[in-house]
Structure 1
């Protein structure tokens, strides 16, 4: 998942955080997940960039 997130930010400028960032001593953290945060006033450009990046990899 780390390589997926790294490729996305490097190639499309969209930041996703892999679940490994949120490791916990209390519970197991799945390695095949990521978190999406939409904290912008206008998230449409980032979502469009993500969509285009994913479609190009089909």
Structure 2
């Protein structure tokens, strides 16, 4: 599950648009990596007041 950091509109089925707010939790599937990279969601526990991870996240990549 990922936690929304910035409000945005999301259509999981490609048709029905849903407005997501800070703190909402969703499974974004394959879109998760891109949304994390753009700063819209976080995969770890977050402090929404400061938008900083509560627990360290594992870095992906090389």
TM class, shorter-chain normalised?
Answer: under 0.3
TM-score, structure 1 length as denominator?
0.24
TM-score, structure 2 length as denominator?
0.23
Higher normalized strand content (fraction of residues): 2
Higher normalized helix content (fraction of residues): 1
Query: Higher Cα Rg: structure 1 or 2?
Result: 1
